[in-house]
Structure 1
Amino acid sequence: MFKNIVFYIFLLSLLLPNIILSFTEQLTPLGALTNIVLPGGIMYLLLSISPKIGRSIWMMFPLVFFAAFQIVLLALYGRSIIAVDMFLNLVTTNSSEVTELLGSLAPVISFVMLLYVPSLIAAGIFIHKGTLLDAPFVKSNFRVASGICIIGIGLLVCSFTSPTPYSTTSNLYPVNVGYNIYLAIDRTRRTGNYHQTSASFRYDAVPSHTAGDRELYMLVIGETSRAENWQLLGYTRPTNPKLTGRHDIITSTRAYSESNTTHKSVPMLLSPVDATNFDTDIYKVKSIVTAFKDAGFSTAFLSNQRYNHSFIDFFAFESDTTVFIKELDRISNPIEANRKPDSELLPVIDNIIAQGNKKQLIVVHTYGSHFNYIDRYSDADKRFTPCDYKEAVKEERDKLINAYDNTIVATDRFLSECIDRLESLDDVKSGLLYTSDHGEDIFDDEHGRFLHASPRPSIHQVHVPFIAWLSEKYRTAYPDNSIRLRKNARKLLSTSRSFTPTALDIAGIKVSGDALSDTTASLVSSDYMPRKPLYLSDHNIAVRLKDIL
């Protein structure tokens, strides 16, 4: 009968994520079997409790949502359960990013719609008509489900007693997803209390450079730019035609971010927090902007991103001047606002420079190479063609790479324009630091991964560009800083750990107080000491990068 068929199809569709995860995750054979039998038995039991099949199906809708979400995630990244960061992205990612992402996932979204929507429609019809499962059918299935649950419990006990470490919050779907929801709610709560928990934070920052000299420093945070596509860093394509022609650019070919998510990486770049202390300290620190203000600098935070209602916004509004250019046209012209190139930040930068402040910090958060790539550059930077991909699929990789490389050309032009502006100020000691928050997967290998923020990163997502530029007047005044910066940039570099200490040292700002000052982290320090690359896991634990790639 139709109602019985719907019963079994719905049960199998709910169990599909468990089956896939048992192959994709690093589970022992016993753990994989537990991940199928115990949840399958419980879902089977829940469906068999009542003859009201329509109501039973709709009461299990949360499991439908998680299953659909999980399948989409697996299609995108090839592995891993729904991460804490995935849930946080639902509240920190703006609508334009979501629209662009969903467009690239149309095939798998269509698949999950076909998988789950018919059962939900049928369940609605059953409720409307009062359709009931036959009593013998319910009774026999309840008995079978109970037996499977007992077997599943036995497997769970064996999993706990096996030599391989086992945890339900990590290895048993959907328990692990439920735990991640709890962590996401807890982090959201702690973020909501940020202004209270950070209120007493102090840098006690003091300047050490000559008081009368004019200084201007720019800190540029890129978006989704991976080192391997930078000509400056060894890429064979001419993606940096302007910067490559300069003799005064300092680069690092061994720079790594400690997160592949914007909402973690950018706060680490702009504060004295890294993977080792993120979970304990991010809720109580203030950003490098406050350190510069304490040291007598005028400050500006300029962004080509949307508000994200989290630490990036909190840090931005520490500044004397805060401008999110996408937000200016958000209502009047939302489509064009989403497509603003980073070059539209240049007039705002000009206005800040024109103020002629004696000491000035400008933090710039670009949109760089974020998907949809073709919206990130103008015709002037359309260097690689064809780049007219129709959708984000492996078959279109050549076009995707062309479009992505064009975004690097646009970034090259933007940074060159920024440096030109600083260089034109003859009476100013100035400098610029640039790095990206994270990189990107673009169907680079047999795993077929695309985009970033996967629960387990790839090297493409964490190997990022790092460049520095110091004006001639700065190099003349502080030659040792320039020499040490160039020397240390050749060593292993964690951008999350070193960006803020390096910027403070370049500007001659000494901090103490609550700031977690590590003199071995600054590239300008004679004590600089690289450390082995770390990664901030989904549960905010610092792990060796090599252990999870």
Structure 2
Amino acid sequence: MNHSICNTIYNKVSSGTFLYWYAVVALLLPNIALCFTERLSFWAGAANVLLPLALYMWFFSVARCPGKMVWWAFLFVFFAAFQLVLLYLFGTGVIAVDMFLNLVTTNPGEVMELLDNLVPAVVGVFVIYLPLLILAVIHIRKKRQLSVSFQHHVRKWLMEVGAIGLFCLLACYVVVDDYRMRNQLYPVNVCYNLYLAFERNAASENYREVSRNFRFDARSGHDVEAPEVYVMVVGETARAHNFSLYGYPRNTNPLLSKTQGIMAFPDATTQSNTTHKSVPMLLSAASAEDFERLFHEKGILVAFKEAGFHTVFISNQLPNHSFIDFLGEQADEHYFLKKEDALQGNHYDEDLLQKLDEILPKADASSSAHYRYRKLFVVLHTYGSHFNYQERYPRSFAYFKPDSRSEAKSENRRDLLNAYDNTIRYTDYILHGIIERLQKWEGIQTKTDGVYGQPISAMLYTSDHGENIFDDERCLFLHAAPKASDYELHVPFIIWTSEGFSKQYPDILKALGENRSKQVQSSLSAFHTMLGIGGIQTHYRQDEYSVASDKYHPVKLLYLDDHDEAIPQEDAKFLR
């Protein structure tokens, strides 16, 4: 009897009809899920299910062998699996343009770190979609087919389902405000986003040629002979909520909190929760409101270079053929530590300090050449607090414990938060290390050289975006979701000026103090503020965006959405 039951089950599973319906339902799962996660209206939800259902029913009935059609539809099988993983991770949103771009700009190590800690989602999609592909291969090899009568019945049913779906779609345009198929009908919206991703990638491929003749026409407004060093530090995934400088109860800034010359801006937000958008905005004049200028203008390193500075870009991240690379490579010297020393494995951000030691102008009492470069501008791109958090700091910096559980589950929040706070303490150590080196350089220059005037230095630090760590009932994790949270948008914005700088430019110090309590959009202000601190004069510098200027005033908070449109930040946020 058991043998008979097994044969019956095998015959049903191995039939063409079973594979047909398996494929239709498997591809329809994201449509059903999105009805709930996107809170679609009745009409939009009905159209979102019925029209794709009719399409899938038609597609898999085109050929007698459904196995062949499954493999012809492999791209949409991939979309379905990818979509379900993203819904598990973020709880909302279709596969965005930024997600497609992340596939080609995120290094494989980061991808594996993430997938290793998304076991339930990864296992789930494998359980659903891997058997589908295997069964399709079996059907192709054994030439299993649909009956002609079944094909006729299916085509009759899909006509009825499609007609109802079209009626619901028409109702959407009549009843639902701002309904657009390209935004709300899966997989039309995913295909549209993929097209935009290809379009944006093509534009970036032409960047070097298009921007070849661009100039800032920049010059230095400071003493041409005076020694100057400025360091701009671009953090990774650091959220202001976890900095004790901003009132966080844990002591995550034991060094910076005792450092003289620190100005911490408590109300700073980023205009994007994705690295490949926010970092280029920090390093150029592009912002959410005019992001397109990124595709034909050069970055801040060129502005300083034109003004007579030797420029250096040092990154602790792998190059990924993105605008971050393009802008970094515009420096006189550029270094990607992970690429240059790949066999050494994980590079902690402390390696940036060692590289900075090599770059900083050398000076000592016995040296006849007190420095290699009188004026130096350095951009450091850290790995900061990027997930997996416990991999971002040496074990000697594991201050908050336990910090070992890293799987993306809300029940692991204690360990995840401890590890994340350890990354912030480590960032505190790195920033303090930069300041110590600048102070030492300035002190040596002051003692050994009185010819060229007072040496000055300064540092600006901000992060590309923040992070979610299962902070509330929404159970959000990581960043780059289609909708952002305050934890992703609220970033640290810290400026340090040396004693010499403060004495020589008291007007800038006064402006920094007066603007400290005002709203700041880091993606908009960092570029102009750094130019202002460095005394770089160019018509591209807009002092109304610089917190180092008495002309600064806050503007409307904007967010760069997935389609590169500037929208109010409130419209970009998750709803509670």
Which of the five TM-score ranges fits, normalised by the shorter chain?
A: over 0.9
Write the mapping of 1:272-311 to structure 2, written as runs, cut at 5 A: 272-278=285-291, 280-311=292-323
Instruction: Quote the Cα distance in structure 2 between the aligned partners of 1:171 and 1:483.
Output: 50
Which residue among 542, 559, 562 is the counterpart of 1:535? Answer: 559
Gaps of 5+ in 2: 1-11, 363-370, 447-454
Write the mapping of 1:263-278 to structure 2, written as runs, cut at 5 A: 263-278=276-291
Mean alpha-carbon deviation: is it higher for 347-356 or for 235-244?
347-356
Q: What is the TM-score when the length of structure 2 is the normalising length?
A: 0.92
Is the Cα contact below 8 Å between 2:529 and 2:546 reproduced in 1?
Answer: yes
Instruction: Quote the Cα distance in structure 2 between the aligned partners of 1:91 and 1:59.
Output: 23
Q: What is the TM-score when the length of structure 1 is the normalising length?
A: 0.96
Change (3 A) 1:45 1:195: same
Q: CA deviation at 1:498?
A: 0.3
Write the mapping of 1:137-536 to structure 2, written as runs, cut at 5 A: 137-278=150-291, 280-330=292-342, 333=343, 336-337=344-345, 339-355=346-362, 356=371, 357-424=373-440, 425-426=442-443, 427=446, 428-512=455-539, 515=540, 517-536=541-560
Mean alpha-carbon deviation: is it higher for 141-150 or for 231-240?
141-150
Q: CA deviation at 1:375?
A: 1.0
Q: CA deviation at 1:459?
A: 1.1
1:545 equivalenced with 2:569 (yes/no): yes
Q: CA deviation at 1:463?
A: 0.7
Is the Cα contact below 8 Å between 1:49 and 1:142 reproduced in 2?
Answer: no
Instruction: Quote the Cα distance in structure 2 between the aligned partners of 1:340 and 1:262.
Output: 19
Offset from partner CA, 1:163-203 (integer Å, 9 cap, x none):
51111110100000000010000011100000111112111
Q: CA deviation at 1:248?
A: 2.1
Q: CA deviation at 1:230?
A: 0.4
Instruction: Quote the Cα distance in structure 2 between the aligned partners of 1:54 and 1:358.
Output: 69
Larger Rg computed on CA atoms: 2
Instruction: Quote the Cα distance in structure 1 between the aligned partners of 2:361 and 2:189.
Output: 54
Change (3 A) 1:14 1:163: closer
Q: CA deviation at 1:120?
A: 1.4
Return structure 1 stretches of 4+ with deviation > 6 angstroms.
none
1:73 equivalenced with 2:76 (yes/no): no
State the partner residue of 1:47.
Answer: 60
Q: CA deviation at 1:8?
A: 1.7
SS in 1 for 2:289: coil
Instruction: Quote the Cα distance in structure 1 between the aligned partners of 2:429 and 2:500.
Output: 23
Q: CA deviation at 1:484?
A: 0.6
Offset from partner CA, 1:344-368 (integer Å, 9 cap, x none):
1112101111352111101100000
Instruction: Quote the Cα distance in structure 2 between the aligned partners of 1:171 and 1:363.
Output: 41
Instruction: Quote the Cα distance in structure 1 between the aligned partners of 2:155 and 2:542.
Output: 61
Gaps of 5+ in 1: none
Report percent identity of matched pairs: 43
SS in 2 for 1:186: helix
Is the Cα contact below 8 Å between 1:201 and 1:286 reproduced in 2?
Answer: yes
Q: CA deviation at 1:390?
A: 4.8
Instruction: Quote the Cα distance in structure 1 between the aligned partners of 2:458 and 2:306.
Output: 19
SS in 2 for 1:76: helix
Q: When the two structures are aligned, how many residues end up with a matched partner?
A: 540
Offset from partner CA, 1:250-301 (integer Å, 9 cap, x none):
00111000011111000000111100010x2110110100000000001111
Change (3 A) 1:390 1:368: closer
Instruction: Quote the Cα distance in structure 1 between the aligned partners of 2:288 and 2:41.
Output: 29
Q: Which amino acid aligns with 1:367?
A: Y
Is the Cα contact below 8 Å between 1:50 and 1:138 reproduced in 2?
Answer: no
State the partner residue of 2:4.
Answer: none
Instruction: Quote the Cα distance in structure 2 between the aligned partners of 1:50 and 1:158.
Output: 33
